[in-house]
Structure 1
Amino acid sequence: MKRYFWLISGLMLLLVGYFGQPKQVQADISDISATPMIEDNDVTDRFQLIVQPNETRNITISFTNYSDAAQTIMVQPTNASTSASGKIQYTTIIKPGQNNLKYAFANMSEAKKITLKAQSTKDVTFKIKIPSGRFKGLILGGYNIYQTAQKNNPNRSQVAIPVYITETNKAVGGVLILKNINAAATNGQPHLYANLSNNQPGLMKNIDVHMVIERKGLAEFFHLGLKAMTADQHYNTVAPNSTVPIGFNQKQTPIKAGTYVVNGTATSGKTKWKFSGKYHISKAQAAKVNKQSTNLIYDKTWIFLLVIGGVVLLIILLVVLIRVQGRKNRN
């Protein structure tokens, strides 16, 4: 009997020791300005062009290097996109077809690498070739400007010169649809993003989004897994033909593969959209994001339950053995 008692005690001490100990888990561009050269216009921070099909326009940007050393900058044309914080940005190359985009600004103008001498100013002309086909609404392009020395730095400083292009100068409304979800590491933390899409060539303003995302799995069925996450986000502006990401910061909780259900609404004035969809995050996607994240805390609930279950089963077996042995001794 003593032998069985010490065996059970040893197992319980091992269990407490394992779970009781703490575990460690592992703009402006500096000294450079860019100014759009615009004449006779009240708007001075962007180019506004009313165009005809197959037309060619030339615009000029003045660059000044205030530093005492020569600097090289890259000027890259692209379409506007919408950030998770509700700002217009020009940091990603947008291609035709994305969010029903008809014409990409990157195909209408050229990228240029420009070297600026110390304490100098240079005016650079860019050619914009308007497509031969007609288009409605707004093509919102822009020149993303950054130092070439910072090309591979995701936190590089950059500025943008917007270019508004329209044929009719008539406003077109936007339409929001639920596009998909994806996982990404942002600032070292794992995020899930529910992505809406403005699939129209219209600039949208003052959008309020309420979104709920939850994982559907065995652990969640027993209320042992991830809890439903809620996001409320205001977007001052949404770019035409752009993805609208709604971020869910999981902080130190790793991304889990599986099926996720998304439900939500978006409102703009009296207009309201409702969203609902079911999507899958693969094991490869989850592993990639978790690898790029830091200080993750992995949930050991299932391991704990399995070990507890094993110990309980072992105790039952030992009790049965003790009773069987006791009956044999009485006989």
Structure 2
Amino acid sequence: MSAIRFDQVRLQFPGTPQPAVNGVTCDIEAGQLVVILGPSGCGKTTVLKMVNRLYEPTSGAIYLDGVNIRQMKVTKLRQQIGYVIQQSGLFPHKTVAENIAVVPKLLGWSRPKYQSRVDELLQLVELPPQVYRNRYPAQLSGGQQQRVGVARALAGDPKFMLMDEPFGAIDAITRQSLQDEILRIQRKVHKTILFVSHDVEEALRLGDKIMILQKGKILQFDTPLNILTSPANDFVRELMGADDLFRQLSLRRVEAAMQRVSSDYPHQGERAIAPHENLRQALSLLLQTGSQRLSVMDEGKVIGVLTLETIQKAARI
């Protein structure tokens, strides 16, 4: 059973000639991070806001764990869903700890329980509690505010997360750092996440799958690699830069292209790369160093080698 299911979901706002969302149907599996991508006005945020019933669809249905959300009380529904927006949305008159504790308090948690949860989440987003729990939002950088926003969304331990361009107003360097944090946190907590973005690189970096919308319709819903290698149409090809070989290499892992070697392989003096790195990083390292090959190292052991030839072979697949 899918964690989130859209079944012919349509939404047309009063007085508008065209529907904002038009027949969206897809299944999202538990623990997946799905990026909703497309041009401005394509319906990305509208799709997101229907999941927590900020908007009600004109027709069709949305299911969470098999239950039609129209059959759920709105308060009960939203207690299952963490929500992160672009400007963090923190209460300026509350401390960091008080902001994070809002939902646990509403859920009736005891003070020791929610205080412990605050500290746990601040550690998770790498903001030491002893330093940050008593600060106010105005005393934080934009990136720190977004980290607190993520912690607050996770506070009630929701099964689902909705993230509406959460890093859209952040500078490029901080944005990449926050993307790293989301990936690191997701590896630990395995939430089902819908993540709205207008940034193709962000979508490719974060998404287990990408939903590409145009004029309220899904053009393609697939893994980043499948979308790049088999775009549904010219619009998707152009939007994703699907002809960019380097972009494709960034989605292929070293371990998938390396030649495996025995444990006694002589690797003295060769540059090393980890199996979970991508082929774009491997190619860059080969070109920067002028090396003929790279040793693929896992936990201090050589498990494979990578050359320009093996990278070229992977690029042609």
TM-score range, shorter chain: under 0.3
Under a length normalisation based on structure 1, what TM-score does the superposition of the two structures give? 0.27
Higher helix share: 2
Under a length normalisation based on structure 2, what TM-score does the superposition of the two structures give? 0.28
Higher strand share: 1
